[in-house]
Structure 1
């Protein structure tokens, strides 16, 4: 099942608990994505921001701050910052990947053009830094600026590792930490920092976000070979067709014999894909236990996320964050 199905799942409980804060975040986002001189900016931004995303990352910031007893309003600015960074990266990613669908709708680069998507993404990055500065916290600025750099670095690494069947699990993990986990980790860490939590608690929140983000991405990679389009928001096998070296593929290649390696070199390395190749790829991953190994790694990362929360205050939000980590991987159980 997807993260957005039914009611009373961890994400929904978080949304209900943080409803007032999220209203403030959404109002701030609408205000800050406005532009007096370039109306295309709010047009492009609204297309993505208001497309029904789950707002998971900003909710992590709000939850971390409230869990640590924060009573001010800077957490709202930080949550909006996190969402702007996320939206900017999506706009850029869709251009790089030449994507045509995002959250079930045509991408901004398809509706407008690549130049608009890139430039509006740049605008949102700039807005995010304005919001960071308004908190008056140099440490918050350092954390989010570093996360922005890591995200960009991860995207470039993914570009250079793409279609290279010698890519290792270590490189995959570095890419995942960049493109997914860095913002999860920063989102939770700054919530603790703004709440003046203890250093032990701040690091625990960072570890939680990092582990949750890695588990989240591994699950997405697994679902591409075993989920439905409704569950994963794309067609099963899209990663294979796009020649992406995700964890189950990397594991299968590592155990491949000469004939199997030639198959991966043809389909992923050269992009020469034929009828039946996707089924054969899935069969090879199954033969070598690659899917199950990747599934176990996702479960291990989710367990690390839950363990990290033990030093945080006993609070309903802590239970929701723990349940969220379990739920992310429940989709592959």
Structure 2
């Protein structure tokens, strides 16, 4: 299989989420305890499925962003722990639902819940986790935080439907793709970043800064995932390399290569994506075309652009360890491809 990206560890490790991990370690311990408690149920299958995904790894970046954003503005209390857990449950529910819609077989190096328990159980446990997330939001008692996260939940669902409607559509434009990933991925990053300053009583300007940071970090994060699918490793992705191609997903690299390609090349993409001819031989051909038209490099360039906007969003805020850590997260997310 051809190699698209140079995943050199020395460059990858130049930026780290370790400062964020260190700053939120104590609070994340409380989040993890609450995750285990709220994922529990007398219905045996619910904690089995929930814990299958919750315990399978993942950096829990979104709840750490919520915790750090609350700390940045001097929040005192336990509301940020509940909201962080809500954010993680929303994310986990989305993964359970995504794997059903995408018919995915692997997630974070393990069989997906749907492969073990079936589609119906996966969807219903995702719904249970969403319900628990909303219960914790109510417990916090902030109508503004509830509004932000509930709106994000609605937007994420809209993004799922948008993606479904655009499935295998090679005429999808770059703007249309951005609308999908803004809804599906970036909306939760944005909400996760904003609710911290909300419960800390931060100013509207401070809230707007964190909201913009989260939105653009989420866009950059997803675009790097799109790029990694054609040149990363299963460890980088938490799924199999080439899964997007095999599932016929029209991500930004494909959009760019299709639009820049010759008539014959566009015919190849149509055959592969629309007619499900996506074996290893076809994937090798796809890699050649993606390289030929700089589709991967330009996808990474778009991610860097959004990363720059996220960085600028935090620029006016006072210097704190939390701000420094959140800025380093931008580089960490993008440098996964270096």
> Would the alpha carbon gap of residues 72 and 7 (structure 1) be closer, same or farther in structure 2, given more than 3 Å must change?
farther
> Would the alpha carbon gap of residues 16 and 269 (structure 1) be closer, same or farther in structure 2, given more than 3 Å must change?
same
The count of residues paired between Structure 1 and Structure 2 equals 331
2:209 paired residue among 188, 204, 208: 204
Partners in 2 of 1:269 and 1:192 — Cα distance? 45
Partners in 2 of 1:265 and 1:6 — Cα distance? 35
> Would the alpha carbon gap of residues 311 and 84 (structure 1) be closer, same or farther in structure 2, given more than 3 Å must change?
same
User: Does the 8 Å contact 2:226/2:252 carry over to 1?
Assistant: yes
> Would the alpha carbon gap of residues 315 and 144 (structure 1) be closer, same or farther in structure 2, given more than 3 Å must change?
same
Partners in 2 of 1:87 and 1:235 — Cα distance? 19
Question: Greater relative contact order: 1 or 2 (C-alpha under 8 angstroms, separation 6 or more)?
Answer: 2
User: Does the 8 Å contact 1:68/1:313 carry over to 2?
Assistant: no
1:64 maps onto 2:69 in alignment: yes
SS in 2 for 1:311: coil
Q: Residue in 2 aligned with 1:158?
A: 163
Q: How does 1:205-284 map to 2 (within 5 A)?
A: 205-273=210-278, 276-284=281-289
SS in 2 for 1:93: helix
Aligned-residue RMSD, C-alpha: 1.9
Partners in 2 of 1:105 and 1:292 — Cα distance? 29
SS in 1 for 2:248: coil
Q: Residue in 2 aligned with 1:138?
A: 143
1:180 paired residue among 180, 185, 197: 185
Deviations 1:212-253 (A, max 9, x none): 111011111111111123332333322112111111110111
Partners in 1 of 2:224 and 2:182 — Cα distance? 14
> Would the alpha carbon gap of residues 273 and 97 (structure 1) be closer, same or farther in structure 2, given more than 3 Å must change?
closer
Q: Residue in 1 aligned with 2:99?
A: 94
> Would the alpha carbon gap of residues 46 and 273 (structure 1) be closer, same or farther in structure 2, given more than 3 Å must change?
closer
Partners in 2 of 1:223 and 1:28 — Cα distance? 32
Q: How does 1:8-23 map to 2 (within 5 A)?
A: 10-23=16-29
Deviations 1:152-201 (A, max 9, x none): 11111111111111011111101111221111000001011011111111
Structure-1-length-normalised TM-score: 0.94
Structure-2-length-normalised TM-score: 0.93
Q: Which runs of 5+ in 1 are unaligned?
A: none
Choose 98-107 or 123-132, whichever is displaced more: 98-107
Partners in 2 of 1:19 and 1:273 — Cα distance? 43
Choose 5-14 or 41-50, whichever is displaced more: 5-14
Cα deviation for residue 6 of structure 1 reads 9.7
SS in 2 for 1:18: helix
> Would the alpha carbon gap of residues 275 and 326 (structure 1) be closer, same or farther in structure 2, given more than 3 Å must change?
closer
SS in 1 for 2:70: helix
User: Does the 8 Å contact 2:108/2:237 carry over to 1?
Assistant: no
Partners in 1 of 2:336 and 2:280 — Cα distance? 29
User: Does the 8 Å contact 2:258/2:269 carry over to 1?
Assistant: yes
